[in-house]
Amino acid sequence: MNKSSRIYVAGHRGLVGSAIVRRLQAEGYDNLVFRTSQELDLRDPGAVNAFFASEGIDYVFLAAAKVGGIVANNEYPATFIRDNLMIQTNVIDSAYQYGVKKLMFLGSTCIYPKFAPQPMKEDDLLTGILEPTNEPYAIAKIAGIKMCQSYNRQYGTSYISVMPTNLYGPNDNFDLKNSHVLPAMIRKFHEAKTEGKPVVELWGTGTPRREFLHADDLADACVYLMNTYNESDIVNIGVGEDISIRELAEKIQQIVGYTGDVVYDSSKPDGTPRKLVDVTKLNGLGWKANISLDEGLASTYEWFLQTQKHLRTLTNI
């Protein structure tokens, strides 16, 4: 990408997209294109086609998606598979129709089988059954990967697909009904502290292990790969280390300063037992994560506090 390249970041206000925007701007890319979901509904093929027809886009970071945690995936499976299939199909096809030079499709490590060997290698894709709680979302993401690979094969496009591990950071979703485990924990512990609750209840047993990558690290990797990687094969993006949900809760509890008790509701689902990605390929391409989990959790909680303060200020105006 040249500094003057016209770059469209789809999903620029979300956790991933906003981090990519920050990274691009920090590196001097100043010809960025954004549209909110109100301005451009990516589920609408006519609207997406008209957008690409008029904007002269050179590069696309496809970070727009319908996302959520176990609760949201379980309650809205049709929404997750429908919206994600529509978003990625419209953007990928319009990018081809209007001569986009390169597109990056952001998937998820939930594409891998529930019982994939750990750490999960890129070659483990489609070697076993998926985790039932997020199967519709995972199938949509797998379809996006295959669509990019198929367009490369048939049309000679340059579409690359990256699979980030569990993400967190500024602009994450802290809604308890729709968020992922880490931001949900931050909010639960914070509210328990401020409201003086004696107990925080968490879903599952606390034994599943998860890997967590800061969104700013992901953005750094995405910009790096957009400039250096040109193969159809997928690339995992992660840190190569994981932690149990119980250990994560202890870290967040300490950072928030909550002194009450923590109990686990084992009647609730744990999800996949372990999700750790093999980052050998990514490291071999010349990139490694830089933000430690402790550092990232502290800065994310600080961002959460500042956001809460801002919202209170707006409410009082």
Does residue 179 form part of some domain?
A: no
Q: What is the mean pLDDT of residues 123-134?
A: 93
d(CA 255, CA 37): 34
139-151 pLDDT, tens per residue?
999 999 999 999 9
**Cβ count within 10 A of residue 282:** 24
177 marked among binding-site residues: no
User: Nearest CA to 24 among 14, 12, 36?
Assistant: 12
Mean pLDDT of 61-72: 85
Residue 110 lies in a domain: yes
76 given a catalytic annotation: no
Evaluate whether residue 287 is within a structural domain: yes
Q: Does 186 map to a domain? A: no
* 160 assigned to some structural domain: yes
* pLDDT (0 to 100) of residue 175: 83
Which domain covers residue 100, as residue numbers?
A: 7-172+210-242+273-292
What are 234-286's pLDDT values in tens digits?
999 999 999 999 999 999 999 999 999 999 999 988 877 888 999 999 999 99
3-state helix, strand, coil in the chain (%, to 5): 45, 15, 40
Active-site annotation holder among 137, 168, 264, 301: 137
Number of domains the chain contains: 1
> Residue 129 sits in a domain of what CATH number?
3.40.50.720
- Is 108 marked within a binding site? yes
- Whether 203 has a binding-site annotation, put simply, is yes
In this structure, is residue 199 part of a structural domain?
Answer: no
Q: Could you give the CA distance from residue 16 to residue 167 in angstroms, rounded to a whole number?
A: 8
Q: Is 17 annotated as a binding residue?
A: yes
The Cα–Cα gap between 98 and 101 comes to 9
* 209 annotated binding-site participant: no
Buried b (16+ CB within 10 A) or exposed e, 252-274: bbebbebeeebebeeeebbbbeb
Q: Is 314 a member of any domain? A: no
Residue 316 has what pLDDT?
Answer: 44
Q: Model confidence over 30-60: pLDDT tens digits? A: 999 999 999 999 999 999 999 999 999 999 9
Question: Is the pLDDT at 74 greater than 70, yes or no?
Answer: yes
Q: Does 200 reside within a domain?
A: no
